[in-house]
A and B are shown apart, each in its own frame.
Chain A
Amino acid sequence: MNSESKRVKRERPWLMRTYSGHTSAKASNELYRTNLARGQTGLSVAFDLPTQTGYDADHPLARGEVGKVGVPIGHIGDMETLFDGIPLDQMNTSMTINATAPWLLALYVAVAERQGIDASKLQGTTQNDVLKEYLSRGTYIFPPEPSVRLTTDVISYTVHHIPKWNPTNVCSYHLQEAGATPTQELAYALSSAIAILDAVRDSGEMGASDFAQIVGRISFFVNAGIRFVEECCKMRAFVALWDKIAKERYGVEDAKLRRFRYGVQVNSLGLTEMQPENNIQRIVLEMLAVTLSKNARARAIQLPAWNEALGLPRPWDQQWALRIQQILAYETDLLEYGDLFDGSQVVADKVQELIQGAESEMERVRLEGGMVPAIQSGYVKRQLVTSQTARLRAIERGDLKVVGLNCFQETAESPLTKGVDSGILRVDPAAEREQLERMRAFRATRNPKEVEVALKNLVDAARSGENIIPASIRCAHAGVTTGEWSGQLREVFGEYRAPTGIDIGNQDLGSAPQMDRIRERVRSTGESLGRPLRLLVGKPGLDGHSNGAEQIAVRARDAGFEIVYEGIRLTPRQIAKAAQEEGAHLIGLSVLSGSHLELVTDVLAELADLGLSDLPVIIGGIIPSEDKPQLKEKGIAAVYTPKDTDLNGIMADIVDIIRERNGLEPFDVAA
């Protein structure tokens, strides 16, 4: 350091978190304590899929998913273990939880009460944005209307009782993962925020001053992609647009309450499986987009680990991600300056362009009747699927360069993936059984009468429209489980399936002779087998990341297959039954949650049960390469991972697999 330099006043850095949780409450608690000891300044809880979609560990749909992508929280006992030795009044906890957000918030409050802490002292965030779940990620449960009501319940409750809580974190993150362009990201995130705030306003529970406070409590969760200059401008556009909306639409006078407050997880979508060490450079550049502008800087950042495209990160990988943040915040001089871009014409012009694009798309959503109707009609999802399809086409053609993926593929073998664990964390297969046992033991300790009364109270509140949180806190104390809480509300509100958005027009595949050849192969193979080739695309388990399945479905349709796509969250039995009824020639499964081994075993068993053992099954998803032989051994015909971006190649494989299984000669390889 230059000895002449005076002590410069530095900005306070953002909150540093790592999105984590796995196996069990106990294992996750240990991880949190380790991460905090390493200088992390807040917690970001990842829940497993059964917890996110409201099932107990012993529900059939939960099989294979318990403790996989996050921590399983079945009841207050788990929640107490999760925060054991972490005083909640000194912690800032972000919970990525949506459909069951009111429940997890209730558990958090109940644990605080048991720690002797007043709820008003709590700080943190519930993601609580179900609207984007219908478009991406897929952990919704109820139809949109009751979902919005539960969202507003959390908002109204926290603004009165937990004033420092961020009740909803409107997400543009997952929209980008689903294919949104920066303009679409701006438009749909802001339209979602408007839908939520309008619902709060129209509920009539709030006075004008309360309402301004609520506008001030809305925060956002944003993605930052690799085009970091544009992303930087996107954040500035968000700031300007939100200020305008808060002022003009909601009449908020206090400029502080109009601030666009946001947290970030930088782009996991752009991380590659090939040469995975390069993901570190990507993560650093993406972080710059959300930190360089002082006027549009993130309040909280969590960075993915370098190996997320391979599987679950280990503690050391998370530490590495945290160190990136610490170096930027504490070593560099970034926090010593004012806004770097004020006065830049280039940046101002780009921001203006994004604002105009976003405003025009927001107007389009308004004409659809607002964000909720635009989701229900499938409009927004179709726009996202269309953008995603275009993006993948660009990668496939090489117009969009991804180093290691479609250019500069030549590489030495990475020592990082060579260890005994192949560079990822594996959840102990015993974790699910242990969680099940804990769940059963816990149920036995409850007072059944108390549980019954608490659940009845919950149903009454759900039916009457009374705020759901107090009844949920009571349920938490009585020992109600996550599955019971959700089950009761399923009875009251019903369940929902969102539009898939795959019903988009034929894509421009150019004059591609390759495509013509594939179409011809699809057609002639269908002719040889007597009827058009038919694929069943299915997502077993609770994982709602449907982008891959959707892209395969759309491309296969364009290649001339008849596609039966059933959407997300299917049981293996449902998939097998559908394959039989629909007369499929091949089943394509998609699993991203790490439960592929269990789910594949079950699907194949169900198929055998229906006498369909000959039906070929392929699988795509985040699948570690050392699992491939095991999957093949079980009878899976082909395994695809994110590095397989050549969709036409996959189509050609599918035709070949069908031909082989049906005793037809393979097509000439050279053809």
Chain B
Amino acid sequence: MARERSALATALNLLDDKRPEARACAGRLLANLPEDKVYHSGHLIGLTGPPGVGKSSLISALVERWRDQRRTVGILAVDPSSPVSGGALLGDRLRMLSSSTDGGVFIRSLACRGEVGGLSAETWPMSLVMLAASDIVLVETVGVGQKEIDVSKLTDTTCFIAQPASGDTIQFLKAGIMEVPHVLIVNKQDVGLAARKTLTELQASLGRNTHNGDWAVPVLSASATQGTGVAEIVEAVESHRQWLLREGALCSRRRSFQAQWIVKRLREDFGRFGIEALGGERRLMEDLITQGGSPFEHYDRLRDDLVARWS
């Protein structure tokens, strides 16, 4: 266990490392991750919601329950960076009391590092090595906007935590965010009436949900401070995974996330023109989805391809 944790820490440092030799090494590392772990098992869960909604304490409660079920948990906690200095305060471990000396829980904080979309480029590869090392990987992001919901583009199951009576609910509805999550949670059910009202609003809004096939999005309420509703969340999240497995969607979603990640990096570096030169987004995606393998190696191969054409 101790050696595994140390290896995971080293792997995460490596994936963060931008030096060419490190990139090559990271590419090999990702290519050698067990296919089964990375595409067919484990559970990648995204959790997002506005600041102050009680994500940390809810995560703490969830982790405790998963640990009771003897499942190991990896957490990637994403915090905003300062636009001026590039520095960041990563304080999210703060309230996670219960897990702090538990060897079955591994927490890595990540600054979003100015990335449009709220998630830095390292998030996807880091999720993959965490998947290889833990039963459950939780990616936590902070915020209320469309940006933060990008976490749904790299997780199997996305949970959105709503604040009772914050008025945000209406904003989410307008922004179309409600169509994304697979599990909706109203935290702080202990505040009573306001929480019930938010719950009703959310339930009412789900009539419009069209993106999730026949998955019926559950709307749950919980109180992290009182420890209520947590078992139900764990259960709902697990049901969603079962549903994905039944639909055969777990593997195909992850392959598609990987393809999107590669295409996004290429588009950032070479623009629309570069994507067209590689045969267009659709074809590129199709190729990448069928290939599997290491995202870094694919990226490097395609980049070299483009660079060779122009040099």
Contact = CB atoms under 8 A, between A and B. Distances in A.
Interface in A558-602: 558-567, 570-571, 573-574, 577-578, 580-583
Contact of B94 (A495, A500, A519, A529): A500
A583 B94 contact: no
Given A556-B87, A571-B101, A583 B111 contact: no
B84 A506 contact: yes
A377 interface: yes
Interface of B: 2, 5-6, 9, 12-13, 16-19, 22, 52, 81-82, 84-91, 93-95, 97, 100-101, 106-109, 111, 113, 225
B100 A574 contact: yes
A500 B18 CA distance: 32
14 contacts: A494-B225, A503-B89, A503-B91, A530-B22, A532-B86, A532-B111, A554-B89, A558-B85, A561-B87, A563-B90, A566-B93, A574-B101, A578-B93, A583-B9
Given A497-B95, A557-B88, A562-B88, A577 B111 contact: no
Contact of B101 (A563, A573, A611): A573
Instruction: List the 4 closest pairs (A to B, CB-CB), nearest first.
Output: A530-B17, A557-B87, A531-B16, A560-B85
A559 B94 CA distance: 22
A583 B87 contact: no
B101 A582 contact: no
B225 A560 contact: no
B82 A583 contact: no
A523 B84 CA distance: 12
Given A530-B19, A531-B17, A581-B106, A565 B89 contact: yes
Given A571-B101, A583-B12, A557 B89 contact: yes
A506 B94 contact: no
Q: Is the interface of B mostly helix, strand, loop or mixed?
A: loop
Contact of A557 (B52, B85, B100, B113): B85
A523 B86 contact: yes
B13 A559 contact: no
A502 interface: yes
Contacts of A566: 91, 93-94
A143 interface: yes
A565 B87 CA distance: 13
A117 B74 CA distance: 59
A480 interface: no
Contacts of A254: none
Nearest to A376: B52
A178 B43 CA distance: 43
Interface in A526-568: 527, 529-532, 553-554, 556-567
Nearest to A143: B225
Contacts of B109: 562, 564, 582
A523 to B, nearest CB: 7
A578 B87 CA distance: 19
Nearest to A145: B225
Which of A377, A519, A564, A570 has the most chain B CB atoms inside 10 A of its CB? A564
A610 interface: yes
A610 B6 contact: yes
Contact of A506 (B5, B82, B97): B82
A259 B89 CA distance: 44
Contacts of B84: 506, 558
Contact of A567 (B12, B87, B94): B94
A583 B18 contact: no
A556 B18 CA distance: 22
B18 A563 contact: no
Contacts of B22: 530
A559 B16 CA distance: 20
Contacts of A563: 87-90
B91 A565 contact: yes
A610 B13 contact: no
Contact of B82 (A527, A558, A577): A558
A566 B90 CA distance: 9
Contacts of A582: 90, 107-109
B12 to A, nearest CB: 6
A556 B19 CA distance: 24
Nearest to A501: B91
A141 B91 CA distance: 20
Contacts of B13: 531, 583
Nearest to A377: B52
Interface string A489-522: 0000011010010110010000000000001001
Nearest to A565: B91
A571 B102 CA distance: 13
Contact of A527 (B6, B9, B16, B18): B18
Which of A495, A506, A531 has the most chain B CB atoms inside 10 A of its CB? A531
A577 B87 contact: no
A577 B101 CA distance: 7
Contact of B5 (A503, A523, A580): A580
A502 B91 contact: yes
Given A495-B97, A558-B82, A610-B6, A502 B89 contact: yes
Contacts of A554: 89
Which of A563, A567, A578, A610 has the most chain B CB atoms inside 10 A of its CB? A563
Contacts of A578: 93, 100, 107
Contacts of A553: 89
Nearest to A528: B19
B85 A531 contact: no
Interface string A302-337: 000000000000000000000000000000000000
A563 B87 CA distance: 7
Nearest to A564: B90
Nearest to A500: B91
A502 B82 CA distance: 13
B97 A497 contact: yes
B225 A580 contact: no
B86 A565 contact: no
A643 to B, nearest CB: 26
B86 A580 contact: no
Contacts of A577: 100-101
A530 B82 contact: no
Contacts of A494: 225
B9 A557 contact: no
A528 to B, nearest CB: 8
A329 B142 CA distance: 57
Contacts of A570: 100
A560 B81 CA distance: 9
Given A531-B17, A583-B16, A560 B87 contact: yes
A562 B2 contact: no
B62 to A, nearest CB: 16
Contacts of A564: 90-91, 93, 109
Contacts of B111: 532, 562
Contacts of B5: 580-581
Interface in A392-438: none
B24 to A, nearest CB: 12
B53 to A, nearest CB: 11
A437 B109 CA distance: 42
A556 B91 CA distance: 14
A610 B5 CA distance: 9
Given A581-B9, A582-B108, A583-B12, A559 B87 contact: yes
Contacts of B107: 578, 581-582
Contacts of B87: 522, 556-563
A421 B86 CA distance: 46
A497 B101 contact: no
Which of B5, B12, B17, B93 has the most chain A CB atoms inside 10 A of its CB? B93
